[in-house]
């Protein structure tokens, strides 16, 4: 059990529980006694306006915010993986060494190769990161996150820097990998469509609290043209304060 | 040009309306342009670095062969070569070169070690930074050779003083560059290492050391240069051996050929050591994509 400026940390199920979590920068309180529970294996997306504190929350859950003032109680599993908006591969390590970085125990190399194969990068293990395209780098980062077999995967806009086509492919890949490994996922995104397409539960962060908690009850794979998809999407956009023009009625 | 034609034929829709047919032939250079980075320095030629020095020697040879160069001012390449052969056959050159190399090598060794240890200490701990960085930045402003009188006062004029002067210059170069590189390691990589639960040793090995290697090599190259500089100066102060001593003696007897042999020896070692460091650097930093490619 470790103490933390943010409060007490214990390691036990559920996947994530924050109790009265507070984080502030000077006078600016970003998280105001936020309560959040994510069940093991649950795919949750976190939406919110820019500056609403999504990254702050994610960094708190990842325990990367030692320097941030705050309080509250935080329960997270032992094995947590974090993926960033940039792929953040170390430029001086080959792709495989990046994936297995910090991996302990025997068979690390084999596990790394398997993870690379899973994300479609078989045979690129000896490449330098700068030899990969942006999408491939992001896939390598995904392999690095999954090779640790996390009970919780935290992802801060992992597809933010990718083009639309690559994003679509990455969505498919992420969902597929999720269904195979079943970690709890907390995915931060700006993109309402992405949230509804991938997650089983969508949260909206507003004024330091969870203002919307919406279960997405749609079978996967999901089609954006599905009428119920549109309904969820509109609900969320309204919650985010984006005025919705009435849908044109098409036959 | 020929491999261009099929593309032009297969995509007639791309041809600009009304453009004459032979215009497609002018697209040739546009294709060739892709092989070279437009803002880069151009393609590398093997041993291209040697062109300059070779040209200089040729010029010197031509000037002395045509009699434009008075041998009392500067001996020609021929007499320098025969003097060098004499110096080698008597063993005088080797002895002096060996002692000089030993001084430079020891100075480099101590200097590099001290510089790196200081840089790592200052870079990885706050107290190290507060204690070390200030004095070393001040020391940087004082040329190591300016410390000579003090070092002679403390250490005398023996080998100890000579190696210390060289090491001092090397250490400052190593420290400044390694420290700068180390402290500019992207904080996002530190965050990554924390997120991956890297231990202290792994963090050092996988993040800190490779991240500060570029600065280490800049420091090493400057350090090698400064070790030769220090060597030249200390060998002219009360030395009884070494290349510098050999040249100093030759000056007394106006033997410009011996002086040239000494200069060439300094030059060869300077050039070879720099080339050696560059080669190692290229190998170790092969992950980098730089302008020179
Ligand atoms: N290190 C910091 N120092 C001071 N203020 C900060 C710091 N980090 C974040 N903030 C502030 O906290 C608030 C929340 O930031 P955060 O990065 O969590 O937003 P976000 O929801 O992730 O936004 P975005 O969608 O643009 O990434 C912002 O107002 C930001 O200015
Ligand atoms: Mg953010």
Q: What is the pLDDT of residues B84-109, one digit of tens each?
A: 999 999 999 999 999 999 999 999 99
Q: Is this model's pTM higher than 0.80 or not?
A: no
φ, ψ of residue A31 to 5 degrees: the values are -115, 125
Q: Do A128 and B189 touch (CB under 8 A)?
A: no
* Residue of B197, B285, B289 with shortest CB distance to A102: B197
Minimal CA separation from B222 to chain A, in Å: 23
**Under 8 Å between Cβ of B33 and B10:** no
Q: How far apart are CA A78 and CA A1, in angstroms?
A: 11
- Dihedral sign from CA coordinates of B192, B196, B200, B205: negative
> Which of A2, A66, A83, A92 is the mutation pick for testing B, counting most B CBs within 10 A?
A92
Which residues have beta carbons under 5 A from ligand 2 (an ion)?
Answer: A 55
Residue whose Cα lies nearest atom 22 of ligand 1: it is A55
DSSP E strands: which ranges in B98-216? none
Residues of A in contact with B188 (CB under 8 A): 84, 86, 88
Q: How far apart are CA B175 and CA B158, in angstroms?
A: 26
- The yes-or-no verdict on residue B33 having pLDDT over 60 is no
pLDDT tens-digit readout, B52-81: 989 988 998 999 888 888 877 888 888 889
Domains annotated on chain B, with CATH:
1-37 (no CATH), 76-284 (1.10.3720.10)
- Residue A212 β-bridge partners: A204
Which residue from A27, A30, A192 has its CB within 8 A of the most atoms of ligand 1, so it is best to mutate? A30
- The yes-or-no verdict on residue B29 having pLDDT over 50 is no
Angle (CA) A85-A88-A91 rounded to 5° is 150
**Under 8 Å between Cβ of A189 and A47:** yes
Q: Which long-range contacts (CB under 8 A, 24 or more apart) does B262-267 make?
A: B264/B80, B264/B84, B265/B93, B265/B97, B265/B100, B266/B228, B266/B232
pLDDT of residue B140: 86
Given the CA of residue A52, which atom of ligand 1 is nearest to it? 21
Local confidence pLDDT in tens for the 251 residues of chain A: 444 444 445 444 678 999 999 999 999 999 999 999 999 999 999 999 999 999 999 999 999 888 899 999 999 998 999 988 888 999 999 999 999 998 888 899 999 999 999 899 999 999 999 999 988 999 999 999 999 999 999 999 998 888 888 888 889 899 989 998 899 999 999 899 999 999 999 999 999 999 999 999 998 788 888 899 999 999 999 988 886 666 565 54
**Under 8 Å between Cβ of A151 and A130:** no
Residues of A in contact with B285 (CB under 8 A): 92
ipTM over 0.85: no
């Amino acid at each position: 059990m470790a103490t933390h400026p943010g409060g007490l940390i214990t390691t036990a199920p559920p996947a994530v529980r924050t109790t009265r979590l507070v984080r502030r920068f000077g006078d600016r309180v970003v998280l105001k006694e936020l309560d959040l529970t994510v069940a093991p294996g649950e795919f949750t997306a976190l939406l919110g306006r820019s500056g609403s504190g999504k990254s702050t929350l994610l960094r708190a859950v990842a325990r990367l915010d030692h320097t941030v003032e705050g309080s509250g109680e935080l329960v997270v599993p032992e094995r947590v993986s974090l993926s960033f908006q940039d792929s953040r591969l170390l430029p001086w390590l080959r792709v495989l060494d990046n994936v297995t970085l910090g991996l302990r125990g025997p068979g690390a190399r084999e596990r790394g190769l398997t993870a690379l194969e899973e994300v479609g990068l078989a045979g690129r293990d000896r490449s330098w990161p700068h030899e990969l395209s942006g999408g491939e780098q992001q896939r390598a980062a995904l392999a690095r996150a999954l090779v640790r077999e996390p009970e919780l995967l935290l992802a801060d806009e992992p597809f933010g820097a990718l083009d639309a086509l690559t994003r679509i492919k990455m969505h498919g890949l992420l969902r597929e990998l999720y269904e195979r490994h079943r970690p709890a996922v907390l995915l931060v995104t700006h993109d309402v469509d992405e949230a509804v397409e991938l997650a089983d539960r969508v949260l909206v962060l507003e004024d330091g609290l969870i203002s919307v908690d919406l279960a997405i009850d749609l079978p996967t794979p999901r089609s954006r043209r599905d009428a119920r998809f549109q309904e969820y999407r509109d609900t969320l956009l309204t919650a985010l304060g984006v005025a919705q023009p009435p849908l044109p009625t098409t036959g | 040009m020929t491999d261009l034609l099929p593309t032009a034929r297969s995509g007639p829709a791309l041809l600009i309306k009304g453009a004459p047919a032979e215009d497609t032939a002018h697209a040739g250079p546009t294709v060739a342009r892709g092989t070279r980075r437009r803002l880069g320095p151009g393609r590398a030629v093997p041993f291209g670095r040697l062109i300059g020095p070779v040209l200089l020697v040729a010029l010197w040879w031509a000037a002395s062969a045509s009699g434009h160069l008075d041998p009392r001012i500067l001996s020609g390449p021929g007499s320098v070569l025969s003097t060098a052969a004499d110096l080698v056959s008597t063993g005088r050159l080797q002895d002096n070169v060996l002692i000089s190399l030993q001084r430079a090598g020891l100075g480099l060794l101590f200097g590099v070690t001290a510089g790196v240890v200081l840089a790592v200490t200052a870079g990885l701990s706050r107290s190290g930074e507060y204690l070390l960085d200030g004095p070393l930045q001040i020391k940087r402003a004082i040329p190591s050779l300016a410390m000579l009188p003090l070092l002679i006062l403390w250490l005398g004029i023996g080998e100890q003083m000579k190696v210390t002067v060289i090491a001092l210059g090397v250490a400052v170069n190593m420290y400044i560059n390694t420290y700068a590189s180390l402290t500019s390691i992207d904080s996002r990589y530190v965050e990554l290492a924390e997120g991956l639960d890297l231990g202290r040793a792994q963090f050092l090995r996988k993040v800190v050391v490779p991240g500060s290697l570029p600065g280490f090599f800049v420091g090493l190259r400057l350090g090698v240069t400064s070790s030769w500089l220090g060597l030249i100066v200390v060998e002219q102060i009360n030395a009884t051996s070494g290349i510098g001593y050999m040249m100093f003696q030759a000056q007394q007897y106006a033997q410009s050929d011996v002086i040239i042999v000494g200069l060439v020896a300094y030059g060869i070692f300077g050039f070879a050591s720099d080339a050696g460091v560059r080669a190692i650097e290229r190998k170790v930093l092969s992950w980098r994509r730089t302008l020179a490619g």
